[in-house]
Structure 1
Amino acid sequence: MPKADKQSLNRLLFFSVTLLLAILIGLLYTRQAPYIVVAVMGLSISAVLLHISRNLRHHYQMISEVAKQIARGDYSLRIPSLELGEIDHLGKSLNDMLGALDKTISHLAIHREELRLVLSSIDDILWSQNRDGRIVWANRSFGKLFPLYDPEKRQYAREVLDISLTELIDQWKTEQHTRIKELHLGEHHYLLSGNRNDAANRTVFLMQNIDTIYQAEQMKKEFIVNLAHELRTPLTAIKGFSDAMEEYVVPENKRYLAIIQNHTQRLIHLIRDLEQLIRLEAISQADLHPTKLPVFFENLRLILDPMVEEKSLELTIALEDHLPIFECDPFRFEQIFINLVQNSLRYTNQGGITIECKRQSDAISFTVSDTGSGIDPVHLPRIFERFYVGDPSRNRKLTGTGLGLAIVKHIVLMHGGTICANSSPGKGTSIEMSFPLTNTYAIE
């Protein structure tokens, strides 16, 4: 309460008390005094209450006005001291809360501006759009890539973005929260990722330029192709001359000649596998043809039987009845089983190799298992990597290139399938592949 109002109230109270005492004194001399006393007391109390009510209404209006200004976003206002006990204590508590809130909002504004500057300065393309497809915000790089974007307008993404990008985003609406896809716009390559915020009904998109990665990949492929070309001629000569020397070499040197021939053959296989892997990576989609699986495996057996019989092992091919026609690239698909069987033969000295084919509820599966030495489970997650060697001491005696399983995985992925391995030392290895039933149709 202002000091002047408080003094006025004190004077009014003093006047009322003085008047009340005067009336009480007059009560001793007149009979009508009680009525006069009651009337005067009522008027005095009414005057005091009226004055208090006006002051309370005035202070309430002050608090209400401050609250309205805060609701409009002005957190710098404070409630003045009212000198009315509990109300004044409440005002002080509200002022403390407003001070803390104003400080927090100031810090948030600073951090928001810093974040805006960071997002505007990076080369990656960033933007956010709501569930209706309107662009909520975008950084400077977005505007450079998509010149139709106007930050002053609430534009739909389809008005600004390339049609291929819009179609890709539409496909994501039913997928998981986080998605990553490769995208080609003009002559550039991008890695597109999106993260949906369900609470805000928005999705934030990030496009990273990966041209340098593609250039490095292309340089690597060209290097491998050139290296293979340069090595093939001398290796062919070494192999030819070493074979020609075989009948003339003295017995004590035959062991050394055999070492030359084995390592030459291994290098030739390595170059062949490298070239095959490079060719596979250049193919974006398999050349699919309707294939009858019984006929396919009957022809495959003609290739595999000589390999298996050379080690005195048994090859079993178990096919489920009434298999559907399977769409695949027959040559590439055949390479899967050749590589897997060759890999099994290196580590299997007794027993045999089994190829199984079954139809599942939503897929068709193929399994290649052996009775070999098996693989330590710690190595299983990496056996499909290029040149990965799980046990160097064991592989030193063998002639594998380290690319066979990598080629198998690549062909499986080309056909939209999945691949995994199960094994334990001394109990053999099982390679399982699964392909969606969309790759099949029933035999009429």
Structure 2
Amino acid sequence: MLDLNQIRKDLDPLVQGLAKRGVQFDTGRFQQLEARRKSVQVETETLQAERNALAKRIGQLKSKGEDASAELAQSQQIPVRLKQLEQDLAEVQSELSSWFATIPNLPHESVPVGESEADNVEVRRWVPGAKDEQGNPAHIAFAPRDHVELGEKLGLDFETARKLSGARFMVLRGQMARLHRALAQFMLDMQTSEHGYTECYTPYIVNASTLYGTGQLPKFKDDMFWVTKGGQDSEPAEEGEGKPEDLYLISTSEITLTGTVRDEILPGDQLPIRLTAHSPCFRSEAGSGGRDTRGMIRQHQFDKVEMVQIVHPEKSYQALEEMVGHAEHVLQALELPYRVVQLCTGDMGFSSAKTYDLEVWLPAQNTFREISSVSNCEAFQARRLQARFRADSKARPDYVHTLNGSGLAVGRALVAVLENHQQEDGSVVIPKALRPYMGGLERLVP
């Protein structure tokens, strides 16, 4: 969430920043709500002062034995009005909070202004082998098969998944299942042993408060899978627990990893915190518009190794560049061509102030496709989570900065390995870095 106090001091940066993202801010509505809030607060303070003055006057009159009935009658009306003002203020603040919960983060000044992915800016690319005139990987000597055609002869089964669950699911068998597991294990080992992340295992089901904290709710409710409805299917709350909340399947373990610092004030010497987890991710793909219906590119259930950092505000942009490098390291070890792209203002995620996408080369599509997205959310999530730190024992708490990124999406990495390391006979050479995780196996054979 954005800093309301800062916005009240200077509205222009908000209006201009949102305009870069293609969002028009309703200044009239904001000024109207602020006028109501100020009016209520001024009247409240006036009545409180009047109540104090009357109490003093009543005391003086009684000490002199004089009649204080008029003052008493007047003072008895004040609590009634103060109660109403308290309700009015709560309503205004609730409307402001609900509204600002739907407003995205402001872009960092270095983010290119644009409307869509067409305006994203390529930063660099890594192509280990021969290149064509455009700098893309040179064409495979034979007509490349896509991952569906390759995978179906290696243990990738969409028909059974469709019978079990419907469209956009998959079943993996034998060597394909093992390759999928090997990729996840390899990524986890790299992030923990080489990049200093702490491996975590977190819940796959979370409450609404956790999703609000990282920005998935309320804006992206339709993209989530609901598990239960609080107060209907949930068990009654035990004493002291409060009302049950709605529960949801996670769309990424960013939600749970970042949520671990919710309502915490961290000692400054604990920063940075680096966390990683391998988890399934569940997405309804409500806004996908029927894209990528073939194969594994856009699934309702997929696996991902996530990276999260909780850092000092002054070090978050250094951490962002480091995290991009951590994701790149995985792709290089898997010998997969890729490029790094900086997203423009119109293509960034809701909570992000700056984002890089890593896009891996897919020969069958003759293009680069996203395999990782690494974002600095600055204090946007931290304000919603109330995640703070103290620089030292005497310092006032300040909000941490939060960053997240894929290190990597396991399913898309599997797609990239199949397509980039395919052979003319339909076999797939396993990258050397993965072979220890495959029991020394050097290739998948139909």
Per the TM superposition, whether the score is higher than 0.5 is: no
* TM-score, normalising length: structure 2: 0.19
Work out which structure has the larger RCO, using CA pairs closer than 8 Å and 6 or more positions apart in sequence.
2
Q: Say which structure is richer in helix.
A: 1
Structure 1 or 2, whichever has the larger Rg, is 1
